[in-house]
Amino acid sequence: MRLSSRQLTAFMTVAATLNFTRAAERLNITQSALSHRIQGLESELGITLMNRSSRGVQLTEAGNRLLRFCRANASLEEEILAELAPEPDGRLRGLVRIASHSAILRPVLIPALAATLRDNPLVQCELILAEFKDLPGLLQRNEADFVIMDRRLGQSGLETHTLGQEVYIAVEGPGGTARQDIYLDLEPEDHVTAEFFRHQESVPEYRRSFMGDVFGIIAGVELGLGRAVVSKHLIREHPAIRILPQFQPVATPVTLHYHTQPFTTRLHREIRDVLCRECPKYLD
CATH number assigned to the domain comprising residue 198: 3.40.190.10
End-to-end CA distance of the chain: 50
Summary mean pLDDT of the chain = 88
Please enumerate in sequence order all residues whose Cβ is within 8 A of that of 90, keeping only pairs 6 or more positions apart, or say none. Answer: none
Question: Which of 42, 60, 78 represents a domain boundary (last residue)?
Answer: 60
Q: Are residues 102 and 128 in the same domain?
A: yes
Q: What is the pLDDT of residue 160?
A: 94
Query: Per residue in 186-210, pLDDT tens?
Result: 999 899 999 999 999 988 999 999 9
Tell me, yes or no, whether 52 and 185 share the same domain. no
> What is the secondary structure of 83-101 as a DSSP string?
HHS--TT---EEEEEEEE-
How much is the pLDDT for 31? Answer: 86
Q: Are residues 90 and 79 in the same domain?
A: yes
Flag whether pLDDT at 76 surpasses 80. Answer: no
Question: 70 with 152, same domain?
Answer: yes
Domain housing 258: 66-161+254-282
- Separation between Cα atoms, residue 129 and residue 186, nearest integer Å: 14
Is residue 197 located within the same domain as residue 73? Answer: no
Query: Are 157 and 258 in a shared domain?
Result: yes
- Quick one: 41 and 93 in the same domain? no
Q: Residue 12: which CATH number?
A: 1.10.10.10
Instruction: Please tell me whether residues 142 and 220 are part of one structural domain.
Output: no
Q: Is the pLDDT of residue 262 over 90?
A: no
Are 258 and 245 part of one and the same domain? no
> What is the pTM for the complete model shown?
0.74
The mean per-residue pLDDT over the stretch 249-254 comes to 95
Domain count of the fold of the chain = 3
Same domain, 258 and 143: yes
Q: Is the pLDDT of residue 83 over 70?
A: no
Distance CA 230, CA 240 (A): 15
Beta carbons of 257 and 147 less than 8 angstroms apart: yes
- pLDDT-above-90 percentage for the chain: 51
Confidence of residue 270 (pLDDT cuts 50, 70, 90): very high
* Residue 80 pLDDT > 70: no
- In the prediction, which pLDDT does 79 show? 63
For the stretch 6-64, pLDDT in tens is 888 888 888 888 888 888 888 888 888 888 888 888 888 888 988 887 777 888 888 88
pLDDT at residue 165 tops 90: yes
Same-domain pairing of 272 and 148:
yes
Claim to verify: residue 91 and residue 145 sit in the same structural domain:
yes
- Evaluate whether 230 touches 171 at the Cβ level (below 8 Å): yes
**Half-sphere exposure (Cβ direction) of 96: Cα atoms closer than 13 Å:** 26
